[in-house]
Amino acid sequence: MTSYVFITGGVVSSLGKGITSACLGAILEARGLTISMIKLDPYINVDPGTMSPFQHGEVFVTHDGTETDLDLGHYERFVRTAKGGRHSNYTTGRIYESVIAKERRGDYLGATVQVIPHITDEIKQGVKKGAGDADICLVEIGGTVGDIESLPFLEAIRQMGIELGHDRVVYVHLTLVPYIPTSSEIKTKPTQHSVKELRSIGIQPDILVCRSEKPLPDDERKKIALFTNVQEKAVISAWDADDLYKIPAMMHDQGLDGIVTRQLGLDLPKADLHEWDAIVEAKQNPSAEVNVAMVGKYMDLKDSYISLVEALQHGGIHTRTRVKIHYIESKDIEEQGIDCLKEMNGIVVPGGFGDRGIEGKIDTVRFARENGIPYLGICLGLQVAVIEAARNLAGLDGAMSTEFDKKTPHPVVALITEWQDQTGDTEERSEESDMGGTMRLGAQSVALQQGTLAATSYGSTEIEERHRHRYEVNNNYRDRLSEAGLVFSGLSVDDLVEMVELPGHPFFLASQFHPEFTSNPRDGHPLFTSFIAAAREHNAGELPEAAEA
C-alpha cells in the first residue's frame, strides 16, 4: 500500500517547496523506495500551458505530453522513479472542470454539488491515481497556507490523514524564519503563526522545514518545537545553499528521511547518497570554464528556462566544466548589435512564442555560424536556424515563419495541421484551434541519420524526446535548404524535421524537441554534454585542478 507525505508551505510563497519535495524524494529513493510525486496547484487555469512565463516560469512537459508546473521538472531531475504524467499535476481549474462535467452528465444523481464532499473527493481520487503503486507518494500543495484558493486541497489532505491513519500519512510544513539585520535577531513568530493557521483547519504538521539564511541555532529550534507542538528533532533547518545538489545531504544529515520512515513504520537500509556526493564534487572541482550565451525573450525571469539552465549545468558536471551562463535579451541584440556575443564559447537559443526579438535571434544564429562558435538551438532555436540558413545560404530573401509573418514569400516554417502522437494516433489543429493543449506535445520517436553530429552525440540512430510546439519546418523547402548545406539529421516517424546541423562547423546543432526535459544531474544528457565539450574546446582554457566552484 502506498503511503503519503504531504508538503505545505507558509508565511510567503517561493520558499522552495518543490526543491524540498524533490530532495526528500531523492533521499527516500536512495533508501530503496519507489517514489511518485504530485503537485496540486490552486490556480483556476486548467493547466499552465497558456500562462505567461513571466508569471509562472517554465511549463514542464511530461513523457505523455501533459503541460505541468515547473516543479515536476525538479521532481524528475532528483528522483528517477518519479516520472510525471497526466495524474501528476492537478489545478483548481482541472478539478472543477471534471466535477462540472460529471454534474452535467448526471453522475451525482441530482445531488447538490458542493466543495465538500464533491470537490474534495475529486482531489483525493486524483491523488490516488497519481500515486500509482509507488511505495511513497509525495504531494506538494502549491500556494501558501491561509490563501483562500488552497483551502479545498488542504481539506482533502486533512481527510486523507483521517481515512488512512497516522502510520500512512506524514505532514511536512515549510516555513520562513527571517533574520532581521537591524536588530540582529532571528524571528520565529511567522513560523508559529503559520503552523497555527494550519492547525486551525485540522492539520498538525509532523515535520517543519524552516527556511533561513543560515543554519538555525539550537535554541531557536527548541523554541519553534515548543510553540508548534512538533518534536525538536523534527524541526529541520534549511538554510540557503550555494548548490541545489547539496540539499539532499543537508536534509539527510538532520535525519529528515529517518523521521518519515519511522512514522510510516518502514525498516530500510541507510540512504546511499554517493551519486549526489559525486555531483557536488564535480561541480566544486572543474578543470575548465566556458562562457555560454543564452539568447531568449524571457530573461527577466530565469525560471522561464529553468530546465535548460539545469541541463547546461549537467553538461558541465559530466565534462568537469564550470558553465557561466550569460542571459541576453534577443531584443537587445536587435538594438545594440552582437558585440555581447564576441567573448562567448557557446550560444544557445531556446524556445519561445511570439515575434518580439525574433530578428535578434536570427542575427545570433548567423554570428554563431559565421564565427565558428558552438551553437545549440532548442525548438524555436531550430526554426530560427532554418530561417537564417534560408536567407543567407539558400538566398531566399524574406524567408520567415508564418507564426511571425503570414505573408512571407518563403514560409520555411509553418503551421502543420496533422501529425502523429507517441501512440501513433493522428492529431489535428488549425489557426482556429484553442491555445491550450493543441501543440505537438510529449515524447515521440526520432530517427537520426547515421554519421551525423546528432547521431554521434546520442550514440544512437533511434531516440525519443519530448515536444512542445505548434509550428514545423516546411518540407517543401527541404531540398533547397539541403542544397545550400543544411543537413536534416533527425526526422519524426511522419517525416517532420526534428534536427538540423551544419557540416564543417565545430558544433552547429538544433532540435525541434526539448532535450532539457529529460536531463538530470546524475545521468546528464548527451546533447548538452556534447555541446559543453565543444564550448570547452572553443575556449581551450584550463583551470587549476580542484578549483573552487
**Helices 120-131 and 92-105, axial angle in degrees (round to 10):** 110
Pairing of strands 3-9, 136-141: parallel
Question: Under the phi-then-psi rule, with left for phi > 0, alpha for psi from -120 to 50, and beta for the rest, what region is 229?
Answer: left
- The answer to whether domain 285-413+472-539 has CATH 3.40.50.880 is yes
> Higher model confidence: residue 205 or residue 51?
205
Using DSSP, state whether 31 is helix, strand or coil.
coil
Write down the pLDDT at residue 432. 58
Write down the pLDDT at residue 388. 98
Residue 298 pLDDT class (50, 70, 90 cuts): confident
Neighbours of 372 (CB within 10 A): 13
State the catalytic residue, choosing from 379, 472, 501, 505: 379
| pLDDT tens string 70-85 | 999 999 999 999 889 9
CA distance 275 to 281: 10
| pLDDT tens string 519-537 | 999 999 999 999 999 999 9
User: Cell match 501529425: residue?
Assistant: 419
State the catalytic residue, choosing from 74, 118, 514, 525: 514
Residue 341 pLDDT class (50, 70, 90 cuts): very high
CA distance 387 to 248: 44
193 in catalytic set? no
For 432-479, give the DSSP string. TS-STT-SEEEEEEEEEPTTSHHHHHHTSSEEEEEEEESEEE-GGGHH
Write down the pLDDT at residue 415. 87
Write down the pLDDT at residue 430. 58
Write down the pLDDT at residue 417. 67
> Higher model confidence: residue 547 or residue 505?
505
| Cα–Cα separations (whole angstroms), residue 414 to 6, 396, 447, 497 | 45, 15, 22, 12
For residue 325, give the C-alpha cell: 551562463
Which range (21-30, 325-334, 349-358) has the least confidence? 349-358
For 84-115, give the DSSP string. --TTSEEEHHHHHHHHHHHHHHTTTTTPPP-I
State the catalytic residue, choosing from 467, 516, 525, 538: 516
Q: Residue 43: which residues within 8 A CB-CB, separation 6 or more?
A: 91, 92, 93, 142, 149
CA distance 537 to 194: 52
Average pLDDT value for residue range 302-316: 94
Can you name the CATH fold of 3-278? Rossmann fold (3.40.50)
514 in catalytic set? yes
Using DSSP, state whether 254 is helix, strand or coil.
coil
Residue 549 pLDDT class (50, 70, 90 cuts): very low
Amino acid making up residue 15: L
| pLDDT tens string 185-218 | 899 999 999 999 999 999 999 999 999 999 999 9
Domain ranges of the chain: 3-278, 285-413+472-539
* pLDDT score of 252 more than 90: yes
| pLDDT tens string 426-484 | 555 555 555 445 688 999 999 999 999 999 999 999 999 999 998 999 999 999 999 99
Write down the pLDDT at residue 452. 98
Q: Residue 110: which residues within 8 A CB-CB, separation 6 or more?
A: none
**Nearest C-alpha neighbor of 374 from the set 452, 287, 293:** 293
- Identical fold for domains 3-278 and 285-413+472-539, yes or no, is yes
Cis peptide before 42 (omega within 30 of 0): no
Return the percentage of the chain with pLDDT > 70, whole number.
94
User: Cell match 519507489: residue?
Assistant: 34
Q: Residue 221: which residues within 8 A CB-CB, separation 6 or more?
A: 210, 232, 235, 237
23 in catalytic set? no
Using DSSP, state whether 69 is helix, strand or coil.
coil
Average pLDDT value for residue range 100-126: 95
